């Protein structure tokens, strides 16, 4: 892909805890085009946050380890990058919005100063007034009155704290934004506001974005592309049309769709996906979805399926092995 | 690995079942060493009359004074009056440990009662009890114990009472905060919903869950109590010479330590090891009961 | 803010009254007849009875307490039963020694303990961390009088580097201050380490890193400012702990301070002296606690706003 801003190839990440080794990412492949908005969907424990932290090299120091694979940002090999290179990227070129706004802000520093810190770090030559102005501007864009910048995080509501987090992430106009479930901790009405805000900012700054969420509805409305994560692998990805309008998706994806109540027709019972995600400390050989899959074949239990692609769409499942033949 | 679940099925024990706690404790090497050493000390103290003739504790033998450890059948040497140091230390240990245990037991009893009532009933009862405890925490513990000692007079048991008075407020606080944090948890409400009465809730839910911090506190408190007893003994308050106690032994031999170091090192070492092992155990218990800490 | 201060002061007063009443109450159990002690052993029973009436010694407990407190409020703590000195002035005369000792010890404990604790936390699980934790553990388990004795014997008497007893110059305070600081230092290191570790785990530290801050900046600007908050405010409370430790230290090193006054008073069961010291110390401690709370309110914006609005 010529215009890819981010390319992740065969990424394996594990957490070395005292009790066991947790295999969080198991061969994750992902590409993001410049200016694209990718929704990363998966349930808790699938590896979504791990992926985001890996991109920024913010995995917990002694515990998190990348064992295989590459992450390339604009032709820079992230995994081989030196500390000072990463420091230059973080906040300025790649920034992150974290999941829990209640704990992501430093309680004893004013919100204005926390946003200002990004500018102090990356634009040391900018003069003070210009920085102050930028802070005021970004606060205005996220819908917070500039005069509140001398207040402390505890004086704001959850939704506003998240907006401050967004302001911090965007003030330096980054090229890539990783939004880790930015609305999960907020209620639905605020969620709509935040998403609308992010859309506007994305358009304004032309930021490439990865939106991590477990909510398919948000993805459908907001993203151009979607990738579905399961047990540390991308099991299906494509454009929204590719994935949402198909008759048959990866069995897991189908299960996700079936779990959502359908407003247009009568349903007596929702169909959940039976079982639990594979134990990351003890992964099965073969396809990780095999034991929950109603279409499971013998082959699935012993071999990891490759990703079969057609055009912009790909599925990691033996059921679709003939897909590539279709044109 | 088998896990023992506590009695009630409905309790969501956020510290894990007792079996898990025991397992984590056993994994902690320091805590286990501490436990073993304390057991040895306790057994040695309890069985002392079996292997040490009580007379040697007080028998003076001037010509045998200041013997170094190992001479003449005196394992740890003799003091300035020729008394066998080993015998005095073991018997001193009996007093220190026993006095310490009784102090903690009494303070615990009072503390659990006050803290329990305060935590469970809340409201003005809680306020009054906490103010009462605040009064006893208004001065440093040593000072309070000494003042009460002054009022009661010399003697080991009176010292125990004085130390208990100084110690109970902390236990009351621990128990109270333990209960307060439990009350907020939903499994108590759940228990009420399916018809549990108050005493039953206390017995089946609050006590098993609330016991943890109290046990930790008691273990650590035992260590600091033994230190206090030794300090008071050294100052000549509480246990009085010639009754052997680790602190009084050090006080008696004070001037001689310069030339006969074993007189200073040995009792001191006993105190340090004993208290340290209790601290290891207390810390080990704390780590074992906290699900978040890595063991 | 003023309301907050007033509220806190109002809390201290009943507590001080409470402890003073308790002490007064239990001291009445101690033997000793002040009237007889004043008049001497040859006094006749009638004279003693008259003196007792004069001093109000047969009044009910509460009356005696109120009269005593009336005196206290005016600075009259009475006279020692056995040594004829004025309690308050003797206390005042000895206070400078104890204060010097205490201040020095606190300085050592803070200036050495806090950096060690920070370092141990930042380098968690390193050799340094484990060693400092073990050493701290040993010192917490050590009776401070033993440490003092050993220091006295080996450093002062055998090596002669520092004076062993008494006061006379600042040098005389060095060994005692180190002894007093030792146990305090150990718990200071542990406490600081725990506090810093708590903060390092927080999400907002990760946020700071994600903004591109260097590890050094993250530690100094984000971790330390939050982590040291409880540590520094606790320094005020450690003052109370030091007072307890001073009791033993003054004995070992023969320093004529408040604590040694207390010890002889306790042994003699000299009621006015013991009562007076307890009340004065209670006021000191109450005041220290108040300062700590105020400091917290000033420094931590969450507390400040809790009480402003």
Rg (CA), chain C: 24
| Per-residue pLDDT at B271 exceeds 50 | yes
For residue range B187-229, list pLDDT tens digits in order. 777 777 877 777 776 666 667 677 788 888 899 899 989 999 9
When pLDDT is averaged across residues C187-200 and rounded to a whole number, the result is 88
Residues from chain B that touch A16, judged by Cβ atoms under 8 A, are none
**Using an 8 Å Cβ cutoff, are B279 and C190 in contact?**
no
Which pLDDT score is estimated for B14?
46
pLDDT interval class at A303 (50, 70, 90): confident
User: Higher pLDDT residue, A89 or A327?
Assistant: A89
For residue range C213-246, list pLDDT tens digits in order. 988 899 888 998 888 888 887 787 788 788 888 8
> Which residue is it, tokens 């073990």?
C134
Please give the Cα distance from B145 to B167 (Å, whole number): 9
Which pLDDT score is estimated for B73?
66
| Per-residue pLDDT at B231 exceeds 70 | yes
Domains for chain C: give ranges and CATH numbers.
87-305 (1.10.3720.10)
pTM over 0.90: no
Rg (CA), chain A: 21
Which pLDDT score is estimated for C308?
45
Distance from CA of A117 to the nearest CA of C (A): 8
Domain spans of chain A? 4-93+174-320, 104-173
A94-97 vs A176-180, strand pairing mode: parallel
Which pLDDT score is estimated for C165?
79
For residue range A108-156, list pLDDT tens digits in order. 899 999 999 999 999 989 999 999 999 998 898 888 898 999 999 999 9
Chains touching chain B, criterion 3+ CB pairs below 8 Å: A, C
Residues from chain A that touch B295, judged by Cβ atoms under 8 A, are 18
Rg (CA), chain B: 22
Average pLDDT along chain B: 80
Residues from chain C that touch A118, judged by Cβ atoms under 8 A, are 211-212
Within 8 A by CB and 6+ apart from B4, the residues are B17, B18, B19
Which range of A189-203, C24-38, C109-123 scores highest in mean pLDDT? It is: C109-123
Average pLDDT along chain A: 87
> A18 — contact with chain B (CB < 8 Å)?
yes
A37-41 vs A64-73, strand pairing mode: unpaired
CATH number corresponding to A4-93+174-320: 3.40.50.300
Domains for chain B: give ranges and CATH numbers.
22-289 (1.10.3720.10)
Which pLDDT score is estimated for A194?
82
Contact: C143, B268; criterion CB under 8 Å: yes
CB atoms near residue C214 (< 10 Å): 14
Contact: A17, B295; criterion CB under 8 Å: no
Contact: C141, B276; criterion CB under 8 Å: yes
> A103 — contact with chain B (CB < 8 Å)?
no
Contact: B272, C241; criterion CB under 8 Å: no
**Using an 8 Å Cβ cutoff, are A185 and A100 in contact?**
yes
Dihedral pair phi/psi, residue C121, rounded to 5°: -70, -45
């Amino acid at each position: 892909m010529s215009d890819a801003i981010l390319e992740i190839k065969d990424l394996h990440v594990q957490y070395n805890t005292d009790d066991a080794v947790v295999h969080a990412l198991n061969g994750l492949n992902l590409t993001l085009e410049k200016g694209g908005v990718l929704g990363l969907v998966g349930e808790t424990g699938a590896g979504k946050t791990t992926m985001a932290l890996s991109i920024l090299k913010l995995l917990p120091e002694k515990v998190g380890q990348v064992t295989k694979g590459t992450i390339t940002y604009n032709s820079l090999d992230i995994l081989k990058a030196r500390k000072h290179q990463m420091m230059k990227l973080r906040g300025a070129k790649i920034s992150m919005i974290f999941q829990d706004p209640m704990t992501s802000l430093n309680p004893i520093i004013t919100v204005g100063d926390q946003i200002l810190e990004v500018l102090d770090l990356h634009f040391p030559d900018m003069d003070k007034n210009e920085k102050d102005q930028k802070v005021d501007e970004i606060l205005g864009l996220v819908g917070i009155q500039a005069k509140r910048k001398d207040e402390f995080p505890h004086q704001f509501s959850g939704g506003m704290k998240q907006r401050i987090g967004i302001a911090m992430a965007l003030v330096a106009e980054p090229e890539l934004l990783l939004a880790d479930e930015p609305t999960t901790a907020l209620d639905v009405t605020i969620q709509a506001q935040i998403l609308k805000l992010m859309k506007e900012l994305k358009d304004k700054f032309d930021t490439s974005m990865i939106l991590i969420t477990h909510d398919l509805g948000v993805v459908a409305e907001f993203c151009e592309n979607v990738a579905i994560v399961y047990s540390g692998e991308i099991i299906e990805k494509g454009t929204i049309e590719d994935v949402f309008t198909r008759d048959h998706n990866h069995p897991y994806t189908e299960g996700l769709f079936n779990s959502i109540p359908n407003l247009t027709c009568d349903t007596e019972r929702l169909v959940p996906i039976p079982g639990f995600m594979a134990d990351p400390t003890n992964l099965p050989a073969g396809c990780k979805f095999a034991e929950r899959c109603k279409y499971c074949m013998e082959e699935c239990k012993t071999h990891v399926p490759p990703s079969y692609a057609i055009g912009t769409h790909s599925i990691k499942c033996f059921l679709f092995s003939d897909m590539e033949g279709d044109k | 690995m088998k896990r023992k679940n506590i009695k009630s099925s409905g309790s969501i024990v956020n510290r894990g079942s007792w079996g898990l706690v025991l397992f984590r404790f056993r994994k902690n090497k320091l805590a286990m060493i501490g436990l073993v050493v304390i057991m040895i000390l306790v057994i040695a103290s309890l069985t002392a009359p079996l292997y040490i003739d009580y007379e040697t504790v007080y028998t003076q033998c001037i010509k045998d004074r200041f013997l170094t450890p190992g001479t003449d059948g005196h394992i740890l040497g003799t003091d300035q009056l020729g008394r066998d140091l080993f015998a005095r230390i073991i018997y001193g240990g009996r007093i220190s440990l026993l006095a310490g245990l009784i102090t903690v037991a009494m303070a615990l009893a009072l503390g659990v009662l006050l803290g329990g009532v305060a935590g469970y009933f809340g409201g003005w009862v809680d306020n009054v009890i906490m103010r009462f405890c605040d009064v006893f925490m208004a001065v440093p513990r040593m000072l309070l114990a000494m003042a009460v000692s002054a009022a009661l007079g010399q003697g080991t048991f009176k010292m125990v009472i004085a130390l208990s008075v100084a110690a109970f407020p902390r236990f009351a606080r621990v128990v109270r905060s333990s209960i307060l944090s439990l009350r907020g948890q939903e499994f108590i409400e759940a228990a009420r919903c399916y018809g549990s009465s108050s005493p039953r809730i206390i017995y089946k839910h609050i006590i098993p869950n609330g016991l943890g911090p109290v046990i930790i506190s008691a273990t650590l408190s035992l260590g600091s109590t033994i230190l206090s007893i030794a300090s008071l003994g050294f100052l000549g308050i509480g246990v009085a010479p010639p009754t052997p106690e680790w602190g009084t032994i050090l006080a008696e031999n004070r001037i001689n330590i310069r030339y006969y170091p074993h007189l200073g090192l040995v009792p001191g070492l006993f105190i340090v090891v004993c208290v340290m092992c209790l601290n290891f155990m207390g810390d080990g218990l704390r780590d074992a009961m906290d699900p978040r800490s890595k063991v | 803010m003023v309301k907050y201060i007033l509220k806190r002061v109002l809390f201290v007063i009943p507590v001080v009254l409470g402890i003073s009443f308790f002490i007064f109450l239990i001291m009445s159990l101690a033997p000793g007849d002040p009237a007889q002690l004043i008049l001497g052993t040859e006094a006749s029973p009638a004279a003693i009875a008259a003196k007792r009436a004069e001093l109000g010694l047969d009044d009910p407990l509460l009356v005696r307490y109120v009269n005593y407190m009336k005196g206290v409020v005016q600075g009259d703590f009475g006279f020692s039963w056995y040594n004829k000195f004025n309690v308050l002035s003797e206390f005042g005369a000895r206070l400078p020694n104890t204060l010097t000792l205490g201040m020095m010890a606190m300085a050592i404990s803070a200036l050495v303990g806090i950096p060690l604790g920070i370092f141990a936390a930042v380098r968690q699980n390193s050799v340094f961390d484990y060693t400092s934790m073990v050493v701290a553990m040993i010192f917490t388990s050590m009776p401070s009088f033993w440490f003092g004795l050993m220091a006295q014997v080996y450093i002062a008497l055998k090596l002669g580097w520092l004076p062993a007893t008494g006061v006379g110059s600042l040098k005389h305070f060095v060994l005692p201050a180190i002894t007093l600081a030792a146990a305090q230092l150990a718990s200071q290191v542990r406490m600081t380490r725990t506090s810093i570790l708590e903060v390092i785990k927080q999400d907002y530290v990760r946020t700071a890193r994600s903004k591109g801050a260097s590890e050094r900046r993250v530690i100094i600007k984000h971790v330390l400012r939050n982590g040291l908050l409880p540590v520094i405010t606790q320094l005020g409370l450690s003052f109370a702990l030091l007072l307890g430790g001073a009791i033993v230290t003054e004995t070992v090193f023969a320093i004529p301070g408040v604590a040694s006054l207390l010890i002889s008073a306790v042994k003699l069961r000299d009621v006015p002296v013991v009562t007076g010291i307890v009340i004065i110390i209670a006021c000191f401690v109450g005041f220290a606690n108040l300062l700590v709370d105020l400091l917290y309110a000033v420094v931590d914006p969450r507390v400040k706003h809790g009480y402003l609005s």
